[in-house]
Amino acid sequence: MNLKNEFGSGKRSMVGPLLIRLRDLGLLVTGLENVSPLMSRAVIEAFIRLHEKGLIYQGSYMVNWSPKLQTAVSDLEVEYSEEPGTLYYIKYRVAGGSRSDFLTIATTRPETLFGDVAIAVHPQDERYSKYVGKMAIVPMTYGRHVPIISDKYVDKDFGTGVLKISPGHDHNDYVLARKLGLPILNVMNKDGTLNEVAGLYCGLDRFEARKKLWSDLEETDLAVKKEPHSLRVPRSQRGGEVIEPLVSKQWFVTMQPLAEKALLAVEKGELTIIPERYGKIYNHWLTNIKDRCIRRPLWWGHRIPVWYIVGKDCEEEYIVARSAEEALRKARDKYGKDVEVYQDPDVLDTWFSSALWPFSTLGWPDELAEDFKRFYPTTMLETGHDILFFWVARMVMMGIEFTGTVPFSYVYLHGLIRDSQGHKMSKTLGNVIDPLDTIKEYGTDALRFTLALGTAGQDLNLSTERLTANKAFTNKLWNAGKFVLQVLPNRDNVSGWQNIEACKFNMEGYLLRLPLPECWVVSKLHMLIDAVTESYNKFFFGDVGREIYDFFWGDFADWYIEASKARLYHSGDDSVVLVAQTVLLYVFGNILKLLHPFMPFVTEELWQALPNRREALIIASWPQSSLPRSTDLVKRFENLQALTRAIRNARAEYSVEPAKRITASIVGSEEVIQYISEEKEVLALLSKLDLDNIHFADSPPEDAKQSVHLIASEGLEAYLPLADMVDISAEVQRLTKRLSKMQTEYEGLKARLNSPKFIEKAPNDVVRGVQEKAAEAEEKINLTKNRLAFLKSTVMLSCSAHSTFRGLCSFLLLEAYYTQSSALITSPERNWLGQIRRLEQSIN
């Protein structure tokens, strides 16, 4: 089996399903089949150019080594956690002194003592000043001597104030050793076992060696004590194992000169980071950047383009070349024709090649390549905020270094997708939401819309409730499209379509001649286009989605579609019908355009179903901005909306049967009455009023005190005769029973609150809950009492309008008593008499 071929075959087999997934999400991806060869060439070229400039070098450096992953990881890939540990106290005898002459050091990692190169104390620590300049014997090393030195780096208050210096296994010790010119000893193999420097402990795992060493120290009387100590443990972000600081020969990129140019790009405004607060994080990282190790001891990846000379020290003799043939030619030119070379077996860090992505995929280093000239630099990069430094900053640095320009003008950072409780998704927690499963249940458009409503840089809690709501939004859009298509003229109605296409919504004069509902919805659409376009330009995608959602559902679907039915089904005037059809098509078509970036599938499907749409929606022109609108007419329709809402609320409050049409008197100024009355049919349809019993006036009607009085807005009121809405006597009886029940419940709550035992023993949150329920009950009781008083006063007013009413009631009841048995009263009359009885009772 050829392992390389197997890996290549596996990679190719994954590309197809990946492309299918991307297409399922509505993404258009092309050219992936040509990316690999372009990337390989670009990676090699970038390495060589950086090496030639002295920005890539080979050197010994302390890295964060992952024994489990067998690779170095960057500082940003190391996570620190506070964990319980142990502080070990060990004797170091002073060479030439007595057996009682020793220094005690405190360390959390005794197994690294085999790599000790010095013992250090603080210059002002008088306890140990007499030992400075002498030698100490490292325990368990067959008498190896190390110098006792002084340095201000030592913390006098930690442990015993004596520090063992192991520069091969501690970052701070490494820096100190470099400053003082001390040697570096490595006692660890790359798999986390101790090497031959550790003598008898060679081959033991680092943690096993720690236990055995401590046991041996105890036997030789060199162990003083050990005590619990809280440790800040470095762990690999990917593997989770404890990181081992290790000095090794690695390939590094000098980052500071590259970072300075990337910082300047933001400072000069060539690059904008969204949201703005991440610009500070970007600046902090690049200002404090360190040289980066780019070597990874892996099999799969871009091989390091370095060749070593067979038989020579690879740390000193190497060739950097674009190919094996070039490397061999350079080697033989330098060392003779008989030399042989072999390539470095390791590969480059993933982020090295990823940093070249914006231009390596377009043909670079051939800057005359058609794709490179056409697409580089791009406008915006959209990615997660968690890889701002890993990927984004490195792309900026490499883009400027190799092309002279930033690879993109804007960086838009989205947040992480979390579960509904705000927890990070993980297989361990079992809260992972699979996009493919989500698409099957809710649809791609609902998923895209849900994710796009997030705010830049903020994590999004993804819940089934959000997905369900946006699936409902998708269905609402589909049903609105079906309605629009059903009411449009037939495709063969040439004159009808000519009239529709002749409408000029971009002309203010045409807009102002439209009826009020049509002028309102078109004006609102034009306002929406401006707001959405501005938000798009500012990359406020969440705002865009919410603005479109509110307009479509709140204005177009809930109001205009309903209002248009008065034109389409009840007008009988073809010209009025045509206006409604034209507005429905115009507004809905523009809604599809605005929504298309969020919901490409359903919008494209509906767009293609609209008559005379010859091009795909994805390439259709964006709606024009700054189109005419009338704020005055918008306010007028808002008054009509306020009136409708007030009537609807009154109907709900008095439990009017949904299908019942009621009487209304509309009161307002002459100007208000004029434009409201012109939309009498719309008002009747939206408010379920009796079209033949809507009255318009500039003063209250005669029966105003027997009506429900509504104030819709300033200068616009309505009066709804109560008797026309409900059976007053039945409503009085219903509310009376309800009031009695509420008062009983209220008294029970008050009794609990008046009990000292309850107040003293019940938890505070329980007491607060009862108090809130009591306050709520009291409010409901007052509202019910007010409504009862109003109903009874209405009856009283009705009676006072007829001075003989009470007498008439008594007469009729008496008459009924004597004549009912003689069957002189018909069934309807009996019902009428029953009403009189109940009315008499309500008065009493």
Alpha-carbon torsion 255, 258, 260, 262, what sign? negative
Q: What is the mean pLDDT of residues 457-470?
A: 90
Comparing 94-98, 244-248, 609-613, the range with the smallest average pLDDT is 609-613
Residue (of 375, 379, 367, 374) closest to 403 by Cα position:
367
- Which two three-digit tokens encode residue 839? 């009315």
Phi, psi of 785 (to 5 degrees): -60, -40
Sorting pLDDT into bands at 50, 70 and 90, what band is 839? very low
Q: Calculate mean pLDDT across residues 648-653.
A: 92
* Cβ(392)–Cβ(383) below 8 Å: yes
Residue 376 has a pLDDT of 96
Instruction: Identify the pLDDT of residue 31.
Output: 62
**Residue 744: its pLDDT value, please?**
92
Among 69-83, 202-216, 312-326, 812-826, name the most confident range. Answer: 202-216
In tens, the pLDDT along 416-433 reads 888 888 888 877 778 888
The alpha-carbon radius of gyration of the chain (Å, integer) is 42
Q: 718: part of which helix (H) or strand (E)?
A: strand 716-721
What span, in angstroms and rounded, lies between the C-alpha atoms of 283 and 319? Answer: 36
The set of residues, in sequence order, having a beta carbon less than 8 Å from that of 100 and lying 6+ positions away, is: none
* Nearest CA among 782, 792, 778, 776 for reference residue 733: 792
For residues 14 and 457, the model is more confident at: 457
Helix (H), strand (E), coil (C) string for 785-816: HHHHHHHHHHHHHHHHCCCCHHHHHHHHHHHH
Contacts of 660 (CB under 8 A, 6+ apart): 688
Could you read off the pLDDT of 283-299 as tens digits, one per residue? 999 999 989 889 887 77
**What would the DSSP string read from start to end of 734-755?**
HHHHHHHHHHHHHHHHHHHHT-
Cite the beta strand spans of 415-481 per DSSP E: 417-418, 460-461
Which tens digits make up the pLDDT trace of 342-371?
999 889 999 999 999 999 999 999 999 999
- DSSP letter string, 589-640: HHHHHHHTTT-HHHHHHHHHHSTT--S-GGGSPPPPSS----HHHHHHHHHH
Model pTM score: 0.73
Tens digit of pLDDT for each residue in 604-641? 999 999 887 778 999 999 999 999 999 999 999 999 99
- For residue 482, how many C-alpha atoms fall within 13 Å in the half-sphere facing its CB? 6
Task: Express each pLDDT in 185-231 by its tens digit.
Answer: 999 999 999 999 999 999 999 999 999 999 999 999 999 999 999 99
Q: Is the dihedral of CA 388, 394, 395, 401 positive or negative?
A: positive
Q: Is 84 helix (H, G, I), strand (E, B) or coil?
A: strand
CA distance 235 to 213: 24
> What domains sit in the chain, N to C, each tagged with a CATH number?
35-55+254-304+344-414 (3.40.50.620), 81-245 (3.90.740.10), 305-342 (no CATH), 474-629 (1.10.730.10), 638-726 (no CATH)
- What amino acid occupies position 59? G
Q: pLDDT (tens digit, 9 = 90+) per residue, 173-189? A: 998 998 899 999 999 99
Please state, in angstroms and rounded to a whole number, the distance separating the CA atoms of residues 283 and 204: 44
Distance separating alpha carbons of residues 230 and 671, to the nearest angstrom: 80
Determine the Cα–Cα distance for residues 53 and 320; give it in Å rounded to an integer. 13
Helix ranges (DSSP H) in 667-763: 670-678, 680-687, 722-725, 728-753, 756-761
Can you give 39-58 as a three-state secondary structure string?
A: HHHHHHHHHHHHHHCCCEEE
494: left (phi over 0), alpha (psi -120 to 50) or beta: alpha
Paired tokens of 613: 């749409």
Beta bridge partners of 272: 410
Q: Determine the Cα–Cα distance for residues 132 and 663; give it in Å rounded to an integer.
A: 105
Q: Which residue has the tokens 């000292």?
A: 756
Position 796 scores a pLDDT of 53
- Classify strands 347-348 and 295-296 as parallel, antiparallel or unpaired: antiparallel
Q: What is the mean pLDDT of residues 108-131?
A: 95
- Whether 814 has a pLDDT exceeding 60, the answer reads no
Q: Which residue from 322, 348, 679, 629 is spatially nearest to 505, judged by alpha carbons?
A: 629
- pLDDT, residue 315, reads 60
Per-residue pLDDT at 241 exceeds 80: yes
Contact 89, 224 (CB under 8 A): yes
8 A C-beta contact, residue 164 and residue 117: no
HSE-CB at 238 with a 13 A cutoff on CA atoms is 14
Residue 314 pLDDT: 60
Sign of CA dihedral 256, 262, 268, 272: negative
**pLDDT of 14 over the 80 cut:** no
Which band of pLDDT confidence, cut at 50, 70 and 90, is reported for residue 1? low
Q: How far is CA 71 from the centre of its chain?
A: 33
- pLDDT of 798 over the 70 cut: no
Could you give the 3-state DSSP secondary structure of residue 117? coil
| The predicted structure's pLDDT at residue 654 | 85
Question: Is residue 457 within 8 Å of residue 415, measured between CB atoms?
Answer: yes
Share of the chain above pLDDT 70, in %: 91
In angstroms, what CA-CA distances link 426 with 77, 418, 434, 464?
A: 18, 10, 11, 17
Structure confidence at residue 77 as a pLDDT band (50, 70, 90): confident
pLDDT at residue 822 in the model? 36
d(CA 519, CA 270): 43
CA distance 585 to 512: 18
Residue 720's identity, in one-letter code, is: L
Residue 772: which pLDDT band, with cuts at 50, 70 and 90? very high
Between CA 172 and CA 166 the distance in angstroms is 9
Q: Which residue has the higher pLDDT, 842 or 764?
A: 764
Question: Cα separation of 618 and 824, whole Å?
Answer: 78
Q: Given a cut of 50, is residue 810 above it in pLDDT? A: no
What 3 state SS string does 113-152 have? HHHCCEEEECCCCCCCHHHCCCEEECCCCCCCEEEEEECC
Q: Which of 226-240, 412-426, 544-558, 726-740 has the lowest mean pLDDT?
A: 726-740
Residue whose structure tokens are 């249940």: 441
* Rounded Cα gap, residues 95 and 92, in angstroms: 9
| Burial of 421: CB neighbours in 10 Å, binned 0-12, 13-18, 19+ | exposed
Q: Is the pLDDT score of 831 beyond 70?
A: no
Q: Which residues pair with 756 in a beta bridge?
A: none
Q: What are phi and psi of 183, to 5 degrees?
A: -70, 165
pLDDT tens per residue, range 526-535: 999 999 999 9
The overall average pLDDT reported for the chain is 88
Confidence label for 466 from pLDDT (cuts 50, 70 and 90): very high
Q: State the Cα–Cα distance between residues 5 and 13, nearest whole angstrom.
A: 12
